[in-house]
Amino acid sequence: MTPADIHSHFELQRQASREHVDVPLLVRRERLLRMRKLLDENGPVLAAAVQADFGMRSPRLTEVADFLVLRTLLSHTLKHLARWSKPQRVRTPLHLQPAQGYIHRQPLGVVGVISPWNYPVQLALAPAITALAAGNRVMLKPSELTPHTSAQLARLVAQFFTPDEFCVVQGDANLSALFASLPFDHLVFTGSTAVGRKVAQAAAQHLTPTTLELGGKSPCIIDGHCDMQDAALKIAHGKLLNAGQTCIAPDYVLLPRGREAEFAQAYRAAVARLFPTIEGNGDYASIITARHHARLRTMLQQAQTQGAEVHVIDPAEGKPPVPTQGTLGDGASRQMLPVLVFGATSGMQLMQEEIFGPVLPVIAYEKLDDAIAHINAGPRPLALYWFGQSESVRDDVLRRTVSGGVTVNDTLMHIAHDNLPFGGVGDSGWGAYHGEQGFLRFCHQKSVLVQSRWSMGSLFYPPYGPRFDQLMGMLRRWL
């Protein structure tokens, strides 16, 4: 699209949102049902597009990582939409009675969504679903790194929605910058912290409120009393889903000193259980581009040069080669083997940046206070994971750390809970969506007070005198 095309689509949606401020519940439900129909009828087409963009990413992986999340979101939203949309009555304080007050939940207008490449269907459509449920119009700008998926989304959205309801804008990073500068009523961005800062600055020109879902270094704490085999399996699943290209993937592990070898052995076993082979295995995604792959290799080379121990895990080592199937382009060559790194220090790139790949640093701590101090010394993470058996230790960790979300004795799963808001804090983002919290994020909660004909508000009018002093004295005693 040209800049003129983008402005034209925006003005179309803006005008529609101003002419039809109130969007009936029936219309909102019908739009969500159309979205469900889009997914039900075109899942295989979208999954094939995702595989084409990654080079290696099986339709089954996309089914669980993208479509399942969207289907549960749609089901949950349709079930609760009527209740969420109702005006919310509130209690009226004594000094304003017998007036009545309520909160009217209205659409904001036009919501912009800039989505990333790592889960190119889920993270494009999830905020759009919630924004549509709240009665908004939506413009979506998907990532230029997933051109096949973006093209299919544009085609399908145009097939199921009118341009003044929901449209997709395609283009490069320059077009994304233009998109972020439009005077949306709300803008959602999912991506890196560095780009999130630029998006926030662009949106600030129009005082556009934003929801920023960023990333960061999400820690995983292993307590001294936990089942190491179970913890390693769940950490490996969270780390290696989509080859680590997940914003809430465990970024590094903190464990008691002396248990490094035990964890390494358990993690190797977990990798072999989840992925008996790597190359040609569609369940294990490719790194998205050669540039991203090179970045990860550079990180490892720097760490090794500075004294870290790099343990590459090849579950197929010593086994006969398995014929590669279903590859597209150079996808198999970008399937990076899982790596454990011991002895990483704060000066290394892999401890300063979000890794976003199958590389897992392991850091030993002497006591829990050291682990907590390490976490609190850096920016606040998007997620935190704790493995252990003691409720008191668990609660101590939760009290003394701040993160966007937490899963205890597992990884990733808090994002799948539709009643839990998902979002970051500090450098990992702001604002949250999912469930009712997401619905409210895309609503204006308009305060309404309906005055009674029996109102005694005139008692507070000037001129003030002895009667006013008596009234205020009574109120001070009652309040």
Give the residue among 178, 61, 68 at the shortest CA–CA distance from 125: 68
Query: Is residue 167 among the annotated active site residues?
Result: no
Give the residue among 174, 136, 182 at the shortest CA–CA distance from 7: 182
Count of C-beta atoms within a 10 Å radius of residue 298: 12
Identify residue 123 by its one-letter amino acid code: L
Query: Is residue 247 among the annotated active site residues?
Result: yes
Residue 51 phi, psi (nearest 5): -65, -40
What is each CA distance from 391 to 158, 183, 223, 372, in whole angstroms? Answer: 51, 47, 11, 16
**Angle at which helices 25-54 and 68-85 cross, to 10°:** 160
Distance CA 167, CA 133 (A): 16
100-107 and 88-90 strand pairing: antiparallel
Distance CA 31, CA 39 (A): 13
Catalytic residue selected from 167, 220, 247, 443: 247
Give the residue among 356, 346, 385, 118 at the shortest CA–CA distance from 244: 356
Distance CA 83, CA 92 (A): 21
What is each CA distance from 298 to 255, 291, 294, 312, in whole angstroms? Answer: 26, 11, 6, 15
Give the strands of the sheet with 210-213, arranged side by side.
166-168, 137-141, 110-114, 186-190, 210-213, 429-430
Strand partners, 360: 340
Catalytic residue selected from 165, 167, 213, 354: 213
Distance CA 152, CA 226 (A): 45
What is each CA distance from 254 to 139, 155, 350, 371, 410, in whole angstroms? Answer: 41, 45, 15, 7, 15
Q: Just list the catalytic residues.
A: 213, 247
